[in-house]
């Protein structure tokens, strides 16, 4: 039976040393002593019997099995049959030639390839079996020498002979090398001899780090979620270090820091704590862990994966014109992006590149990021709050005072939902509407086109009832028009209609709710900047208004609901408010299977297909994500997956994508949530 391992330093090459003492004639494995590491193994060859037997001479206290992240095996620091298996066959002694021979193979027992650092490219070094000591005569007299070593090199000493395996080839998991005949010149006066052997090879960096420095890791893959779960501890065992040492960490990117406790340990182990802040860019990083002591410098690379978001319980989100907001399942609200008017609700006017908690202790059941630089939300008790720009009374608190934190909407009404004006930051979209728990509709703010639905064009600083006596289940606020669904699924719209966005087969402005033509029964409706879309109870999508955003394959204006091309079955569709320019309007929808599609203008990559090409029919959003909802903003889009993760894409000049940068993104990028308060 063979026993392993002695760990060598990885040095600059992250080599892994597996100390293996050779070998028995039988290829059948002997059950390893898995929990124990044996530093020294003495193997004796019996010349008359033609056998090798090995025994541990310095057993040490073992270490528990360590789960190896990303691998299907348990990393065992010791034991024949744990990482490699050396098997010998045809062992014999020829007294005439005085040659002792044994055919030895090396089997890879780990779930990763050997003789490679990246898993595919062979390393030039191959797999080397170094002779650390011996052969030494232990029975009889004379001198035993290795007759056919492939070379010599420095491993634990100078000019040590070795046998070379897998030169120029990767040894796959579970594979065995070709047999190599080891020959020893042995006088007939020798009856037994002994030697010790090291096996060295290159392993992928993750494994090199574990073996070369004896690391056990938590969490498993050294995947650190920045912010939410932004810290982990690596237990570092300093193999063969003696006396006090200095430990160091280099190669860390911005936002990643590390330290050791104690800073200058004198024992055999230390804890490395790696911290990742929200400033870190998601990705893989190679960190160099170095120990300096009486045994010299020893280092290895340790792969650190920084994931984008630790929050995966997003219940809903919304994309405004230049800012975005999201609600966690707990009802805690976050906003990010432009904050020039306090629309993020954090008590400042400071731009935020990552989600920032809304000030106060309120929790919300719904949230709406408006295009007119404001945000509104409804608490679980039905109380409405708004914050941000209030130049036209769109916050509904009876004033035109800008608010940097959530401020109650006047009137004491109990709302089921509130929607902030979704258009660009201009007077036409500076209003909000809500539906009470009894289905009554109220609006407030600017009313230049009759978008408040009260039969006038009078600005309102507090919630004002929409006329008509209709009972609504939902409202959607566009740039200068409003739409809603009644309890029977009938759609009504009012306000500006110059491009047919009200869907009543005219271009006539309406000051009160007006039925959408066609008699369709809808499950949802969404008002954009120049157009409107809705989804029927059977999942069919319809749009109407200005051409190019309808999704019917044309750029033709439509005055009545027109089928979106493709025959898809939608769970929801959301029309972008745009920025007041026709070349920025678009729509996105999520099918019943969770696939996201967008269509319309794609000036800033808002369609998420990796291009800036306009699409006249629904086009798949890249990334293969499964979405629960997607919201189209002014020039950016955000979505929440079925697993509760948030993604955004498109324009990012104000940090509205929440990924910690201002870089435009043409495909969905994870939103980087910081540590929750």
pLDDT digits (tens, 9 = 90+) for 603-612: 899 999 999 9
> Is residue 4, in this structure, part of any structural domain at all?
no
- CA angle, 28 as apex, 26 and 33 as ends, to 5°? 105
Per the model's pLDDT, the better-predicted residue between 354 and 339 turns out to be: 339
Lowest mean pLDDT among 49-58, 91-100, 134-143, 160-169: 49-58
Indicate if the pLDDT at residue 448 is higher than 90.
Answer: yes
Per the model's pLDDT, the better-predicted residue between 420 and 76 turns out to be: 420
Give the pLDDT confidence score for residue 45 in this predicted structure.
Answer: 86
- Binned at pLDDT 50, 70 and 90, residue 676 comes out as very low
Indicate if the pLDDT at residue 207 is higher than 60.
Answer: no
Return the SS3 of 13: helix
Per the model's pLDDT, the better-predicted residue between 529 and 275 turns out to be: 529
Over range 105-131, report the average pLDDT.
79
- Binned at pLDDT 50, 70 and 90, residue 7 comes out as very low
Indicate if the pLDDT at residue 212 is higher than 80.
Answer: no
Of the candidates 100, 324, 120, 315, the residue with the CA atom closest to the CA atom of residue 204: 120
Per the model's pLDDT, the better-predicted residue between 137 and 111 turns out to be: 137
Indicate if the pLDDT at residue 456 is higher than 90.
Answer: yes
Per the model's pLDDT, the better-predicted residue between 294 and 137 turns out to be: 137
> Is residue 209, in this structure, part of any structural domain at all?
no
Residue 171 and residue 110 in one domain? yes
Indicate if the pLDDT at residue 2 is higher than 90.
Answer: no
- DSSP secondary structure letters along 526-574: EE-SSEEEEEETTS-EEEEESTTSS-SSS---EEEEEEPTT---EEEEE
Distance of CA 293 to the CA centre of its chain: 37
Give the pLDDT confidence score for residue 429 in this predicted structure.
Answer: 80
- Binned at pLDDT 50, 70 and 90, residue 65 comes out as very low
Per the model's pLDDT, the better-predicted residue between 207 and 33 turns out to be: 207
Indicate if the pLDDT at residue 453 is higher than 60.
Answer: yes
Give the pLDDT confidence score for residue 306 in this predicted structure.
Answer: 59
Mean pLDDT, the chain, as a whole number? Answer: 78
pLDDT, tens digit, for every residue of 534-562?
999 999 999 999 998 899 999 999 999 99
Of the candidates 204, 228, 213, 207, the residue with the CA atom closest to the CA atom of residue 260: 213
Parent domain of 236: 214-307
Which of these three, 290, 307, 324, is where a domain ends?
307
Indicate if the pLDDT at residue 24 is higher than 60.
Answer: no
> Is residue 677, in this structure, part of any structural domain at all?
no
> Is residue 270, in this structure, part of any structural domain at all?
yes
Residue 52 and residue 106 in one domain? yes
- Binned at pLDDT 50, 70 and 90, residue 25 comes out as very low
Over range 185-213, report the average pLDDT.
71
- CA angle, 243 as apex, 241 and 248 as ends, to 5°? 65
Indicate if the pLDDT at residue 33 is higher than 60.
Answer: no
Measure the CA–CA gap between 214 and 81, rounded to whole angstroms.
Answer: 19
Over range 443-454, report the average pLDDT.
96
> Is residue 676, in this structure, part of any structural domain at all?
no
Give the pLDDT confidence score for residue 150 in this predicted structure.
Answer: 94
Return the SS3 of 427: helix
Measure the CA–CA gap between 477 and 289, rounded to whole angstroms.
Answer: 55
How many residues are recorded in the chain? 677
Give the largest CA-CA distance in the chain: 117
Give the pLDDT confidence score for residue 238 in this predicted structure.
Answer: 44
Of the candidates 384, 380, 227, 224, the residue with the CA atom closest to the CA atom of residue 302: 224
Strands 296-307 and 223-225: parallel
> Is residue 5, in this structure, part of any structural domain at all?
no
> Is residue 505, in this structure, part of any structural domain at all?
yes
CATH of the domain at 250: 2.60.40.10
Give the pLDDT confidence score for residue 67 in this predicted structure.
Answer: 27
Which of these three, 286, 307, 328, is where a domain ends?
307
Give the pLDDT confidence score for residue 500 in this predicted structure.
Answer: 97
pLDDT, tens digit, for every residue of 344-356?
999 999 999 989 9
Residue 355 and residue 258 in one domain? no
Give the pLDDT confidence score for residue 287 in this predicted structure.
Answer: 61
Over range 283-308, report the average pLDDT.
53
Which range among 38-47, 274-283, 302-311, 638-647 has the greatest average pLDDT? 638-647
pLDDT, tens digit, for every residue of 591-631?
999 999 999 999 899 999 999 999 999 999 998 999 999 99
Residue 336 and residue 398 in one domain? yes
Over range 282-299, report the average pLDDT.
53
Give the pLDDT confidence score for residue 343 in this predicted structure.
Answer: 96
Return the residue matching tokens 């890879």.
108
Give the pLDDT confidence score for residue 383 in this predicted structure.
Answer: 98
Give the pLDDT confidence score for residue 199 in this predicted structure.
Answer: 74
Over range 360-382, report the average pLDDT.
94
pLDDT, tens digit, for every residue of 394-403?
999 999 999 9
- Binned at pLDDT 50, 70 and 90, residue 226 comes out as very low
Indicate if the pLDDT at residue 171 is higher than 70.
Answer: yes
Per the model's pLDDT, the better-predicted residue between 643 and 301 turns out to be: 643
Residue 218 and residue 200 in one domain? no
Residue 354 to residues 244, 387, 675: CA-CA distances in angstroms? 42, 19, 11
Measure the CA–CA gap between 637 and 671, rounded to whole angstroms.
Answer: 12
Tell me the pTM.
0.62
Give the pLDDT confidence score for residue 202 in this predicted structure.
Answer: 72
Return the SS3 of 317: strand
Residue 219 and residue 199 in one domain? no
Lowest mean pLDDT among 204-218, 284-298, 420-434, 501-515: 204-218
Strands 636-641 and 646-650: antiparallel
Give the pLDDT confidence score for residue 606 in this predicted structure.
Answer: 95
Give the pLDDT confidence score for residue 136 in this predicted structure.
Answer: 93
Residue 81 and residue 227 in one domain? no
Quick one: which H or E segment has residue 99?
A: strand 99-108
CATH of the domain at 405: 2.130.10.30
Residue 429 and residue 454 in one domain? yes
Indicate if the pLDDT at residue 81 is higher than 50.
Answer: no
Residue 576 and residue 609 in one domain? yes
Lowest mean pLDDT among 45-49, 299-303, 583-587: 299-303
Indicate if the pLDDT at residue 584 is higher than 80.
Answer: no
Indicate if the pLDDT at residue 195 is higher than 80.
Answer: yes
Over range 660-672, report the average pLDDT.
89
Return the SS3 of 583: helix
Percent residues over pLDDT 70 in the chain: 69
Which of these three, 307, 339, 371, is where a domain ends?
307
Per the model's pLDDT, the better-predicted residue between 71 and 385 turns out to be: 385
Residue 466 and residue 516 in one domain? yes
Residue 284 and residue 140 in one domain? no
Indicate if the pLDDT at residue 497 is higher than 90.
Answer: yes
Indicate if the pLDDT at residue 14 is higher than 70.
Answer: no
Residue 140 and residue 200 in one domain? yes
> Is residue 488, in this structure, part of any structural domain at all?
yes
Lowest mean pLDDT among 74-78, 326-330, 511-515, 571-575: 74-78
Give the pLDDT confidence score for residue 423 in this predicted structure.
Answer: 58
Give the pLDDT confidence score for residue 51 in this predicted structure.
Answer: 83
The domain total for the chain is 3
């Amino acid at each position: 039976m063979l026993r392993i391992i002695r760990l060598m330093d990885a040095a600059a090459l992250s080599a892994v040393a597996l100390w293996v003492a050779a070998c028995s004639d039988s290829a059948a494995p002997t059950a390893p002593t898995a929990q124990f590491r044996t530093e020294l193994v003495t193997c004796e060859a019996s010349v008359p019997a033609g056998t090798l037997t090995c025994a541990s001479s310095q057993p040490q206290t073992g270490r528990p099995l360590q789960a190896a992240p990303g691998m299907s095996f348990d990393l065992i620091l010791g034991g024949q049959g744990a990482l490699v298996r050396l098997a010998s066959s045809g062992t014999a002694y020829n007294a005439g030639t005085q040659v002792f021979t044994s055919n030895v193979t090396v089997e890879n027992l780990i779930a990763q390839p050997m003789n490679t650092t990246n898993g595919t490219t062979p390393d030039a070094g191959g797999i080397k079996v170094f002779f650390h000591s011996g052969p030494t005569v232990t029975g009889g007299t004379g001198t035993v020498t290795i007759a056919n070593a492939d070379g010599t090199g420095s491993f634990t000493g100078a000019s040590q002979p070795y046998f070379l395996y897998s030169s120029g080839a990767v040894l796959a998991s579970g594979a065995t090398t070709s047999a190599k005949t080891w020959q020893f010149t042995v006088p007939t006066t020798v009856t037994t001899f002994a030697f010790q052997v090291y096996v060295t090879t290159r392993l992928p960096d993750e494994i090199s780090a574990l073996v070369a420095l004896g690391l056990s890791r938590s969490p498993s893959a050294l995947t650190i979620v920045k912010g939410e779960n932004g810290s982990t501890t690596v237990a570092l065992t300093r193999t063969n270090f003696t006396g006090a040492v200095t430990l160091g960490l280099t190669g860390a990117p911005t936002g990643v820091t590390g330290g050791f406790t104690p800073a200058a340990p004198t024992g055999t182990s230390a804890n490395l704590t790696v911290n990742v802040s929200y400033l870190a860019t998601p990705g893989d990083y190679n960190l160099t862990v170095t120990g300096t002591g009486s045994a010299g410098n020893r280092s290895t690379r340790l792969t650190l994966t920084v994931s984008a978001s630790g929050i995966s319980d997003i219940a809903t989100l919304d994309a405004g014109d230049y800012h975005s907001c999201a609600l966690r399942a707990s009802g805690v609200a976050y906003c990010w992006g432009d904050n020039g008017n306090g629309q993020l609700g954090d008590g400042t006017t400071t731009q935020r590149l990552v989600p920032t908690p809304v000030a106060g202790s309120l929790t919300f059941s719904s949230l709406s990021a408006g295009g007119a630089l404001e945000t509104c939300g409804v608490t679980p008790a039905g109380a409405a709050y708004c914050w941000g720009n209030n130049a036209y009374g769109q916050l509904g608190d009876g004033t035109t005072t800008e608010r940097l934190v959530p401020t109650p909407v006047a009137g004491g009404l109990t709302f089921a939902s509130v929607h902030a004006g979704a258009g660009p930051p201009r007077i036409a979209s500076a209003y909000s509407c809500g539906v009470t728990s009894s289905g009554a509709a109220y609006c407030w703010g600017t009313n230049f086109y009759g978008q408040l639905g009260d039969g006038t064009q009078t600005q309102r600083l507090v919630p004002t009832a929409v006329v008509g006596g209709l009972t609504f289940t939902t409202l959607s606020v566009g740039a200068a028009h409003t739409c809603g669904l009644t309890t029977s699924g009938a759609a009504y719209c009012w306000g500006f209609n110059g491009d047919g966005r009200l869907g009543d087969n005219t271009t006539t402005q309406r000051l009160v709710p007006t039925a959408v033509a066609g008699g369709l029964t809808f499950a949802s409706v969404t008002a954009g900047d120049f157009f409107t879309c809705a989804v029927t109870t059977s999942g069919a999508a319809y749009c109407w208004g200005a051409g190019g955003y309808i999704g019917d394959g044309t750029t033709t204006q439509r005055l009545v609901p027109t089928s979106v091309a493709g025959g898809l079955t939608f769970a929801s569709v959301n029309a972008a408010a745009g920025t007041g320019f026709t070349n920025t309007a678009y729509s996105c929808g999520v099918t019943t299977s969770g696939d996201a599609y967008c269509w319309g203008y794609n000036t800033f990559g808002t369609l998420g297909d990796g291009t800036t090409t306009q699409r006249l029919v629904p086009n798949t959003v890249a990334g293969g994500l499964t979405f629960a909802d997607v919201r189209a903003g002014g020039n950016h889009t955000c979505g929440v997956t079925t697993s509760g993760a948030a993604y955004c894409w498109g324009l990012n000049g104000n940090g509205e994508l929440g990924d910690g940068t201002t870089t435009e993104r043409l495909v969905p990028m994870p939103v980087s949530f910081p540590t929750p308060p």
